[in-house]
Structure 1
Amino acid sequence: MTDQTPLDPTSAGRYAEGCGPALRQARERAGLSLQEVGSQLKMPVRVVQALEEENWQVLGAPVFLRGQLRSYAKLLKIDIEPYLERADLQGVRPAELVSHSHTPRYQRVLESVARRAVYVVITAAIAVPVWVATQSHLGQGSSQATASLDVVPAPAASIDQSAAAAGKAPAVVGAQAAPYVASLTPLPRNGGSGLTLRMTGDSWVQIDAPGGVNLEHGLLKAGEERSFRNGEVGRVVLGNAAAVEVQQAGSTVDLTPYKRANIARFAVSSDGSLAPVAN
């Protein structure tokens, strides 16, 4: 048996025409107010009122409507299934997006081609200037000369045309030199000739010019180097000869003939040849 009171859906005069009126009449017979029903069903009063008024549009999807109606009917202990079968429970429907325009196929193809053409033009506008600048830079680099940082190149010479026209000896005037690219490779100081002293350790030295003028007098540290052209040096004294590497015209000199107690003394002629000297 069931404790629910069946409702006769054909009794229009007694229960009106739908679920809402049937629920309202059953609530009134039970002596309940909308607030009391809402409190027992844990529903807002406006929802209970919308169920009785069959205002389905404010209550959501049909599946929720049926659940709410069944909960309400269960509270009132009535059978509402016959009414649900013939009720038009149309809840809130989602908006349907309907396209009212149709784009022909040829128009879509033209739009696609136009987009690709714009992409190609933008890419070319960026890439071409970069390529031209790179080629210009590489082309200029092939015609540049190289010079050492130790030497400032002299400007290219040109002939004074006015002096030549006057019958005078043509004067050589400076002309703008071609651009140079600096090189970190030093040029040789003496062109492979002359005297070079390279310190492998600390050594006291005395270097005099041919006329007796002192050129160097003091302690040179390891790693230091002194170079002189032929004719600049007349006499050399090395205090720690074992720590000095002497080169003449690019060749290493054996200091044994000039040493005495690790002190080397030698004279340098104008042609660069070495000769031992007395104390």
Structure 2
Amino acid sequence: MTLFNGFTILLILSSVVVTEADDDGAWKREMEQKMEEVLRVVQRQEDMILKRDRVIDIQGRNIEKHSEEIGKLKDMILKRDRVIELQSQNIERHNEEIGMLKRSMKEKTLQHIVQHAESKVDNATHKTTNEQPQGVQRRFLDGSPGHQTPVAFYAYISKDFTHVGDNHMFVFDTIVTNSGHAYNNYSGVFTASSSGLYAFAYSIAVAGHHISGDTDSQYGEISVQLVRNATPYGSIAADTERASDDEMATGFAILYLDAGDIVKVTAKGQGQGSFLSSRYEHWSFSGFKIQ
């Protein structure tokens, strides 16, 4: 009985040991399988990370390339805008020149008509004078045997102004005197009706303050020139550096002009600040034929 019980106990212990050994082997295999699965998951994640890094790198290079292309497009747009601005300035200048030529042609046509009419009047006067009895001479109101309208003008700009560009042509819009109608207050141009010697004067004024619309931080400063046809024949400048310190300048010139020559006042360069031409000071342009 005792021997049987001992064998039974031994058999039970052996089965327990075998069972525990089997369970331990199964656990190890299960853990190895799980570890392999974890390693496969980690490997897949590493592969995904590498792919994502390559995609990010490619996208980064594409972004750099696109940034360069955008920079080039911006440069092209800026260049195009500068070209358009220059073309617009050229168009404006050409339109001004065309307008001046049209006005000049109209003035010359009018002057030709006036000269033709005066010639007829002079011929009629000469004929009438010749028909007078001997010793009798026809005289006009000015006391001379014949009468020719003197050429003389004086005009000024009627209000303060600002923003003067390079080669700007000044238009003296208010006429005080325009005997002979040689000055055009719409174009600012004097046109010689006949060849001869002429005298011209021109005055400018700059402000030591800023008028309405003046966005320049500097006070008034400008240089202008008297131009015959396309050639300058004199220049003056005015400059103020302090507040309330206005400045003026006047130029004078004597020029020989051929019939049809024009004389004008233009900016020698770009002006700055404000320019006075109202209550106390005026920009003015005047001239007359000497002989």
TM-score range, shorter chain: under 0.3
Larger Rg, first or second structure (1 or 2): 1
TM-score (norm 1): 0.28
Which structure is richer in relative contact order (CA contacts within 8 A, separation 6 or more)?
A: 2
